[in-house]
Structure 1
Amino acid sequence: MEQSIIRIEGIKKSFGPVEVLKGVDFDLRTGEVHALMGENGAGKSTLIKVLTGIHPRNSGEIYIRGESKTYTNPKQAEKDGIAVIHQELNIIPTLTVAQNMFLGKELKYGRTGILRSKEMKQKTIEYLDKLGVYIDPDQEAGELSVGKQQMIEIARAIATDAEVLIMDEPTAALTDKEIEALFKVIDSLKKQGVGIVYISHRMEEIFKICDRITVLRDGEYVETRDASTTDLNEIVKMMVGRDLGEQFPHRVRSEGEVLLQVKDISAPGYFENISFDVARGEILGVAGLMGAGRTEIMESLFGARKFKGGEVRLDGNPLKIKHPADAINKGIGLITEDRKGKGLVLNQTIRENMALTNLPHVSQNKIIQKKREQELVDRLMKRLNVKATGPEQTVGSLSGGNQQKVVIGKWLGIQPKLLILDEPTRGVDIGSKKEIYHIMNELTSFGVAIIMISSELPEVLGMSDRILVIHEGKVGALLNRDEADQEKIMHAATGGE
């Protein structure tokens, strides 16, 4: 039998009265990619944080190379050869790419404290080159896209020459090209004997690169299978405890009159002469490569970014939006792709976050009416099936999928006419994805128009009535659902005629 680098036995972890891990077992062998799977809230990230000393365990044992270990901070785990790429980016936005890459591990001239800046910049370029990307080492990290920030995190972890690499949703913000480069690096690391723990909700990735799969459900160990002896349906059933049926719910197109008309709007450097419309009850999917300008177009319509020229009409009337507050007052909501940075106040409660966009509905004479607020939040939590101890739980302590449900809840409360969803299921498990799809269908049945940006082509094809493809800031194609396929979308997204 191959040697286990990591062996975890009977780990239990509680936060107050809530038991998050209930005697979990897991092991990792040298030179394997072992998938750790489960719905949001199943305990995957908590297990990794217990392993690496971020959270103390209540009971159970952790063995590294056969030796019992208890880490009290991640630095100790790192010294033992365990590197982690967390789902939450640990980039400091005001530092440069190179400064982030070597944070806490700066190269210096002897004991002088003088930094070897030129060498660190060169090594930064080399580490990123292994992932097939070039990013200026002098650029401030905060100016980069989420995808590029993710590449810095991955490169930083690979640079440690670790024996164990833990990847928590590493591809969530990456382009197909970047994912392909990452998989090549993973294959190379495997050949060097590195053990990789891989957490992802993208099923196609799991079966493409993983050797074994361990499933957790509600904090409990379910089963470990060889990837070659199982399939998607079996894994999903282990994750959710039931068959989910079709991945995408049946969609009945129920569109009415045109709600939003966009004609020839531009923002120099981002997009040019963009025109499209969306009808009541329609889902307009927006596809394109990362950096094509999809997000910038939608932020402009929401008042979070300025555009020039052209015309935007809502219900046939000219739409003048200078600030997001104007958009909200007109019944337009935007679910941002960066839920942690722009969509939520992480240190506030579910109640406070959900009420934030709904203050006019829960206030009287500018004073919040607690009863109204509580009724609104209770209704939204129930409708969205938010798994939490209650409305007073801080949003930062929720799983990724439940955080996304809180973001959606914020905007459902305003009863929107138009809802813009930017990567609505990024980092969300397969069960929660289906719940979000049902909510989208339900909203359109009441006449709400939805614009959905997604980098997952099966999602675009499975949920859209029409598909707008953006290529380098311009409209590449507008396809009806019945004529669209992945090949046509990618052809238009890459500049094909």
Structure 2
Amino acid sequence: MDDSYVLEMLNIRKEFPGVKALEDVTLQVKNREIHGIVGENGAGKSTLMKILAGIYEQDTGEIKINGQCQKHLTTKSVEKLKIHFIHQERYIVPHLTVAESLFLGIEPAYSPLKLLNRKFMVKESERLLKEKLGVTIQGNRLMWNLTVGEQQLVQICRALLNEPKLIVFDEPTAVLPKYEADRLFQIIKELGKNISIIYISHYLREVLELCDRITVLKNGKKVRTLESGGLNVEDIVKVMTGKDIKRRYPSKKMPQNKVLLEIKDLTHIKVFKNISFKMNKGEIIAITGLMGSGHIELGRAIYDTSGVVSGSIEFNGRKLLQNRPETAVQLGMAYVPQDRRKLGIIQNMSVCHNITISNLKSVSRKGIVNTLEENTRAKNIIEKLGIKTSGQETSAGLLSGGNQQKVAIGKWMNSESKLYIFNELTSGVDIGAKIEIYSIINKMAEQGAGIILISQDIQEMVGLSDRILVMYRGEIVDEFIGGNMNTNEIFVSMMGGKSDAVVNGA
């Protein structure tokens, strides 16, 4: 790393109708530096990066790249300036092969007819992935058949073909299992020896591990740029929020001694088999495992039994022969998916409508919605969850990630659900919003709701759960209870190793 700057964004200001998104923000990234950007949801990180990407134009301020002032950035000019983005959402064409994706738009051809040299493309893609990233991925595999981590590696390799000066990683590990996140860390560290990197993440331990310096944003303003050496997570949280976070997870009351859900010998086609466990009212159970272990599918199968070939589900004293989402909602089950933007909320619908849509009967008579009742219910949920929005009529898609997650939870609270199934509860959510959501989950459990957390965040599971069930290759292999929760043992168990925990199945 040297002291010259590859990127300078000086006194950047950006306003949208009624909102100051950025106010005099300055970001300076040195050559061969890994520079972290952190802040709560809504702090201005995304807006700043969209200006750099040429999607938005700043109202005032100056942008210099390699010392040269850039008056008007576009997505094409940014790429020519050798700046590339690896986004949280994977922008891939699923039915293209790895080779086709890598060379899209720059395909090698032969003969006067300019036919594609597919054999060469496959061999060359495999060589480039091995040479540049040290990974082996077959060039003729379809992109949709790759893991999320492998898809990301193809995107990184494609960026490297342009010999970039700067790569921006936006929440790159939000949906990666630990082993793929660890591999990505090593790759980023190696890349950082030769090029500049901007690393944006809510996982503050990652930021501290990877980054040389860290810029903290809050409410559209730059707070400070810090040298990462000697800092800990609590230091960054204090700068981000202005508060000392002394207790991240709330203290919890004992669950009720009443069975809410009983799963017996549940078997799903090619995914999991003979799954059995019980949960009581007010209990929080985490179900975890590596990608492909079946823990995600098990969470879905409780809510939607399509694909279940044998076994039984008994919920609130009622045996369910078949369970479909519409039936599950009527019975008082709620499922909050990991991809909240696509599946958890309707982005172009108002916050109010998103909250009431799961229980329209509560705000309507004879098929006609009572607007006053709808607004009152939505207002109560917004206040109860602390949803930050300029108004009930604001489109849910315009909210920050943490507030979108609260809306996704709020619509089921409006339905007064008895069982909540959360797939990666706080994925992509900042530390402040996480603590608020943890408190909400705890209160729901204290009121008698059952909570199932489908997760790979070991710290979060230990902090929130009464029990953790570990799945490996489609079976429950371990159960960790209360004080018996050891993060190292849980991780070993997820990897298929033996722990000292007792498997109970009930």
For the aligned pair, the TM-score class normalised by the smaller chain equals: over 0.9
Partner of 1:62: 63
TM-score when normalising by structure 2: 0.92
Amino acid at match of 1:393: T
Distance 2:25 2:433 in 1: 23
Distance 2:495 2:9 in 1: 45
Q: Is this contact kept in 1: 2:269–2:307, CA < 8 A?
A: no
Distance 1:131 1:263 in 2: 45
How big is the shift at 1:415?
A: 0.9
Partner of 1:181: 183
Distance 2:198 2:363 in 1: 45
Amino acid at match of 1:58: D
SS at match of 1:252: coil
Tell whether 2:76 aligns with 1:82. no
Q: 1:452 to 1:123 in 2, by over 3 A?
A: farther
Partner of 1:277: 278
Alignment of 1:305-454 (within 5 A): 305-454=306-455
How big is the shift at 1:64?
A: 0.3
Q: 1:159 to 1:182 in 2, by over 3 A?
A: farther
Query: Greater CA deviation, 475-484 or 34-43?
Result: 475-484
Query: Greater CA deviation, 203-212 or 253-262?
Result: 253-262
Query: Greater CA deviation, 281-290 or 144-153?
Result: 144-153
How big is the shift at 1:94?
A: 4.7
Amino acid at match of 1:221: K
Q: 1:380 to 1:481 in 2, by over 3 A?
A: same
Amino acid at match of 1:435: E
Q: 1:7 to 1:383 in 2, by over 3 A?
A: same
SS at match of 1:309: strand
How big is the shift at 1:147?
A: 4.8
Q: Deviations over 1:322-352 (max 9, x none)?
A: 4211111110001111222322222333233
Query: Greater CA deviation, 45-54 or 98-107?
Result: 98-107
Partner of 2:253: 252
Partner of 2:22: 21
How big is the shift at 1:56?
A: 1.0
How big is the shift at 1:105?
A: 4.0
Alignment of 1:165-244 (within 5 A): 165-192=167-194, 194-244=195-245
Query: Greater CA deviation, 380-389 or 45-54?
Result: 380-389
SS at match of 1:408: helix
Alignment of 1:108-119 (within 5 A): 108-109=109-110, 112=113, 114-119=115-120
How big is the shift at 1:245?
A: 1.7
Distance 1:139 1:359 in 2: 45
Partner of 2:302: 301
Partner of 2:456: 455
Q: Is this contact kept in 1: 2:255–2:280, CA < 8 A?
A: no
Q: 1:351 to 1:45 in 2, by over 3 A?
A: same
Distance 2:455 2:410 in 1: 19
Tell whether 2:187 aligns with 1:164. no
Report the identity percentage: 37
How big is the shift at 1:134?
A: 5.5
Q: 1:158 to 1:429 in 2, by over 3 A?
A: farther
Amino acid at match of 1:488: E
Distance 2:77 2:474 in 1: 46
Alignment of 1:140-151 (within 5 A): 140-142=142-144, 146-151=148-153
Q: Deviations over 1:362-383 (max 9, x none)?
A: 2222222222222222222222
Distance 2:124 2:268 in 1: 35
Q: Deviations over 1:275-308 (max 9, x none)?
A: 1111110100112112211111111111164211
SS at match of 1:487: helix
Gaps of 5+ in 1: none
Partner of 1:291: 292
How big is the shift at 1:96?
A: 4.4
Q: Deviations over 1:414-434 (max 9, x none)?
A: 111100011010110000000
SS at match of 2:388: coil
Distance 2:112 2:365 in 1: 63
How big is the shift at 1:138?
A: 4.8
Amino acid at match of 1:360: K
Q: 1:51 to 1:319 in 2, by over 3 A?
A: same
Q: Is this contact kept in 2: 1:131–1:182, CA < 8 A?
A: no
Q: Deviations over 1:463-484 (max 9, x none)?
A: 1100100111110111102112
Q: Is this contact kept in 1: 2:82–2:166, CA < 8 A?
A: yes
Q: Is this contact kept in 2: 1:460–1:467, CA < 8 A?
A: yes
Q: Is this contact kept in 2: 1:256–1:447, CA < 8 A?
A: no
Q: Deviations over 1:187-210 (max 9, x none)?
A: 211222x11101111111111111
SS at match of 2:40: coil
Q: Is this contact kept in 2: 1:302–1:321, CA < 8 A?
A: no
Distance 2:110 2:362 in 1: 61
Q: 1:262 to 1:131 in 2, by over 3 A?
A: farther
Distance 2:112 2:403 in 1: 48
How big is the shift at 1:394?
A: 2.3
Amino acid at match of 2:165: E
How big is the shift at 1:144?
A: 5.4
Partner of 2:501: none
Distance 1:300 1:134 in 2: 34
Q: Is this contact kept in 1: 2:305–2:322, CA < 8 A?
A: no
Q: Deviations over 1:160-218 (max 9, x none)?
A: 431101011001111221112111111211222x1110111111111111110110000
Distance 2:352 2:97 in 1: 36
Q: Is this contact kept in 1: 2:133–2:157, CA < 8 A?
A: yes
How big is the shift at 1:444?
A: 0.5
Q: Deviations over 1:366-422 (max 9, x none)?
A: 222222222222222222222222222223332222221221112211111100011
Q: 1:486 to 1:159 in 2, by over 3 A?
A: farther
Query: Greater CA deviation, 413-422 or 240-249?
Result: 240-249
Distance 1:155 1:236 in 2: 33
Q: 1:473 to 1:135 in 2, by over 3 A?
A: farther
Q: Is this contact kept in 2: 1:42–1:216, CA < 8 A?
A: yes
Distance 2:204 2:60 in 1: 32
Distance 2:55 2:8 in 1: 18
Q: 1:107 to 1:250 in 2, by over 3 A?
A: farther
Partner of 1:470: 471
Amino acid at match of 2:265: D
- Equivalences, count: 496
Give me the CA root mean square deviation: 2.2
Q: Is this contact kept in 2: 1:150–1:173, CA < 8 A?
A: no
Amino acid at match of 2:171: E
Distance 1:201 1:47 in 2: 16
Amino acid at match of 1:327: A
